[in-house]
Amino acid sequence: MPIAHTTSKSKAFIRLSMLVAGTGLAAAAWAAEPAPKDTTAANPLGGKATPAAPKAVPGQPRQITWEELVPKDWDPAKEFKGMDLSALDDGDPRANEMLMKMQEVSNNAPTNPAMNGTEVRIPGFIVPLEEAKGEVTEFLLVPYFGACIHTPPPPANQILHVVPQKGAKFRAMDTVWVTGKLQTLRNDSMMGVSGYHVSATSVTKYTGGAK
């Protein structure tokens, strides 16, 4: 159950946006590196696969993959295929124009209506939005380390806006399981645009596996 399919479509799109953003040699080197090892719903940190998630139990939240949040017919990079980035300098106005277009495509990434109203359980990384008394009271959940902080935000259909029932004692980029009702509800924040909202009944530390 790969998260990285999450992002098999969006990975190339994100790498392309970093290069166009003119982040210099670091971006070029990062984009040239091998793709990160596949992550899974049971193993969001990637690497060696862990046992598959158990089958859905009636009345219990359904463990989902990030891939399920993306409509199967959506291809964010189709409008940019065949473009020669080597012809663009960092200061080229065309690069800035392309970056703005990419951001628009990313921010308006369509959600999967079939997921609306589903009680789910999903792993990911925390990007805090609001904190009180040392606890995170509102955050974004993203599928890979560094998203929205060290790298450009993923497409909106790969960002969950999470409001837990009670504050959670976690920090930025901690890996957690989030359980709650998923809604196809857009939210704009300074850290990124999310296409989904989760009213979380629980936010627990990720310890590996499907347990």
pLDDT tens, 59-88? 789 999 999 999 988 887 777 676 666 666
pLDDT per position as a tens digit, 120-152? 999 999 999 999 999 999 999 999 998 888 788
User: Which range among 96-100, 144-148, 184-188 shows the weakest confidence by mean pLDDT?
Assistant: 96-100
**Bridge partner residues of 147 (DSSP):** 151
The conformation of residue 43, written as its DSSP 8-state character, comes to B
Rg (CA), the chain: 17
| Distant-in-sequence contacts of 55-58, Cβ < 8 A, 24+ apart | none
Residue 203 has pLDDT above 80, yes or no: yes
Amino acid 37: pLDDT: 46
Percent of the chain with pLDDT over 70: 64
Amino acid 87: pLDDT: 64
Amino acid 46: pLDDT: 47
Which contiguous run of DSSP H or E holds residue 171? none
Residue 3 has pLDDT above 50, yes or no: no
Amino acid 16: pLDDT: 52
- The whole-angstrom separation of Cα 51 and Cα 42 is 7
Please, are residues 111 and 150 in contact by the beta-carbon 8 Å criterion? Answer: no
Q: Which two tokens stand for residue 109?
A: 């990434």
- Please count the other Cβ atoms lying within 10 Å of the Cβ belonging to residue 34: 5
Alpha helices in 116-177, H assignment, sequence order = none
- The whole-angstrom separation of Cα 43 and Cα 31 is 23
Determine the 3-state secondary structure of 158 from DSSP: helix
Q: Which two tokens stand for residue 99?
A: 């970056």
Residue 194 has pLDDT above 80, yes or no: yes
Structure confidence at residue 54 as a pLDDT band (50, 70, 90): low
Nearest to 98 by CA among 80, 76, 115: 80
The burial of 122, by beta-carbon neighbours within 10 Å (0-12 exposed, 13-18 middle, 19 or more buried), is given as buried
